[in-house]
Amino acid sequence: MNILDNISSVKFDRSTGAAALAETLTRGSKWWLIGLRLHLSGAAAVEDLTVTIASGVSAVYNIVLSTTAMNGLTDVPLTFGDGTNGVLIDSGESVVVAFPNGNNVTWGLELISAGA
């Protein structure tokens, strides 16, 4: 089953800031993380953007889904899973996006998901 067959179930969670990026997305039931889009108003410092699935059971089950070296980047589009179904996130889990933002550039983040 392709979750994108039901495009009306796709959600965009948006946030913005100019300090360190530390965003957490949690839903009440199982859902699919499809991707993210991050835009920076200026070039990033030599730092990493990380996307982590934080387990609701125990930290021993946390996984780093993605690490992107941001040196000089201003735009980062990421797709998770196979591009049609994303990554299944359990009801007790959260997705955590972090970027130190040492240059204090303004950022805009869109997390793209479907389901709950």
Answer yes or no: is 3 within a domain.
no
When the pLDDT of each residue in the chain is averaged and rounded to a whole number, the result is: 92
Q: Are 27 and 89 in contact (CB under 8 A)?
A: yes
Return the number of other C-beta atoms located less than 10 Å from residue 89's C-beta.
25
Check residue 31 and give its pLDDT.
Answer: 92
The pLDDT confidence band at residue 32, using thresholds 50, 70 and 90, is: very high
- What pLDDT, in 10s, does the model give residues 6-25? 777 889 999 999 999 999 99
Answer yes or no: is 41 within a domain.
yes
Angstrom distance (rounded) from CA 7 to CA 94: 22
What's the whole-model pTM score? 0.91
Contacts of 20 (CB under 8 A, 6+ apart): 98, 99, 100, 101
Answer yes or no: is 28 within a domain.
yes
The pLDDT confidence band at residue 1, using thresholds 50, 70 and 90, is: low
Domain count, the chain: 1
Question: In this structure, what CATH number is given to the domain that contains residue 60?
Answer: 2.60.120.260
Domain hosting 62: range is 12-115
Check residue 68 and give its pLDDT.
Answer: 97
- What pLDDT, in 10s, does the model give residues 42-76? 999 999 999 999 999 999 999 999 999 999 999 99
* b (16+ CB within 10 A) / e for 24-50: ebebeeebbbbbbbbbbeeebeebebb
pLDDT tops 90 at residue 30: yes
Angstrom distance (rounded) from CA 92 to CA 99: 23
